[in-house]
Amino acid sequence: MKIFQDIENYLGDKIITTVLLGGGCINETYQLTTSAKKSFFLKTNKNAPPDMFPMEAKGLEEIKSAQVLLTPQVLQINAHFLLLEFIKVQKKTPGFFSTFGRLLANHHKRPAIGWGYPSNNYIGANPQVSPLITYRPENSLRDWAQFYFENRILYQLKLAEKNHLSDPNLARLIGQLELKVPEILADGEEPPAILHGDLWSGNFLINQDHLPVLIDPAVYYGHREADLAMTKLFGGFSNDFYTAYNETYPLKPGYKFRENLYHLYHVLNHLNLFGKSYYGQCIALIQSYL
C-alpha cells in the first residue's frame, strides 16, 4: 500500500503492524506500529477532497495555538491521509469532566479576530464555508447573526436542495426563521471565540494524564455557545462539565433558549450527510422559534 510506503519513508522506520481501528462514514483509521515499537495514528480516505486533511491539520494546530487544550501532534499530511501522534486512550476519572469544562471555558476566553475563518474547511464530509468578518464591537450582534444564518443555516439548506433532501416546507420555515435570528441571539452578544466546531462526545480522547485531547475539528471563529450546544446534541457531557464551565466563564442568561438555533446547523448537516431521517428534527428545531 503506497500510503504505508510514504509513511515509512517519512519516519525512516518499518511499519510492522497495522490495526484497523474503525471505518466511519467518511474515513478509515489505523494504529501503526513500527520496528522501533512506536505507535502512530493514521486517518485515510482515497476519495477525500485534496484539501480536507490539510484543513483538518490546520484546525488541530489552531486549537493548540491557544495554549489551553491539547490536540494530537500532526506528523505528516497529504491529500489522502493524515498521520498523527497516537494517543493511548484512558478511562474517565471522577474529576475528568470538571477539568474539561474549565479548560474549554479558558480556551473560549482566548480572543479571535472575527467571525468566520481565514479559509474554508469541512464539517464531516461537507464543506464548511467561513468568510471572515473582522470583529467590530459596535456591529457584533448583526455580524454574527448574518454570518451564522448565511453560512451555516442557509448554506446547509441550499446543499439539501442540491441533494434532493429539502422541500418547500423546509425552505419556507427557514425563510421565516431568518427574520427571527437577530432577536434569538440578541441577549447573548459576545466577542468571537476559537471554536472546535464539532464538539460532541466522539471528538475527544483522554490521554495518560487524564486530560482531554480534541480531535476531528471543524474550526472557525464564532460564538462560544455554538460549541457548548453541540456538546448536548448527541447525549451530552456530564453535568460536572457544564457546572465547571459556567463557574469559569459564566454564560449569559437565555443561553438554553439559543441552543436549538445552534443545534439546527448540525442537524441540517446530518440531513445532508445521512439522509431524510433527520428531516423531522430539523423541522422541530425551527418550529421551536416560530
Q: Could you report the per-residue pLDDT of 225-282, keeping only the tens digit for each?
A: 999 999 999 888 999 999 999 999 999 999 999 999 999 999 999 999 999 999 999 9
**Mean predicted lDDT score pLDDT of the chain:** 95
pLDDT at 26: 77
Per-residue pLDDT tens over the stretch 134-165: 999 999 999 999 999 999 999 999 999 999 99
Does the pTM surpass 0.85? The reply is: yes
How far apart CA 214 and CA 47 sit, in angstroms, is: 24
Does position 174 have pLDDT exceeding 80, yes or no? Answer: yes
Q: Whose CA is closest to 26, among 56, 69, 6?
A: 56
Return the percentage of the chain with pLDDT > 70, whole number.
99
pLDDT at 23: 57
pLDDT interval class at 109 (50, 70, 90): very high
165's grid cell: 433532501
Region 156-177: mean pLDDT is 98
pLDDT interval class at 46 (50, 70, 90): confident
Region 205-226: mean pLDDT is 97
- Look at the block and give the residue holding cell 416546507: 169
Does position 51 have pLDDT exceeding 80, yes or no? Answer: yes
pLDDT interval class at 3 (50, 70, 90): confident
Per-residue pLDDT tens over the stretch 19-39: 998 756 678 899 999 999 999
pLDDT at 198: 97
How far apart CA 135 and CA 145 sit, in angstroms, is: 13
Q: What residues are paired with 205 via a beta bridge? A: 213
Contact 233, 201 (CB under 8 A): no
pLDDT at 25: 66
- The domains located in the chain, with CATH, are 2-85 (3.30.200), 96-287 (3.90.1200.10)
Q: Hey, which residues are catalytic here?
A: 198
DSSP codes, the chain: -HHHHHHHHHHTS-EEEEEEEEE-SS-EEEEEEETTS-EEEEEE-TTS-TTHHHHHHHHHHHHHHTSSSB-PPEEEE-SSEEEEEPP---PPPTTHHHHHHHHHHHHHHSB-SEEB-SS-EEETTEEE----EE--GGGHHHHHHHHHIIIIIIHHHHHHHHTT---HHHHHHHHHHHHHHHHHHGGG----EEE-S--SGGGEEE-TTS-EEE-S---EEE-HHHHHHHHHHTS---HHHHHHHHHHSPPPTTHHHHHHHHHHHHHHHHHHHH-GGGHHHHHHHHHTT-
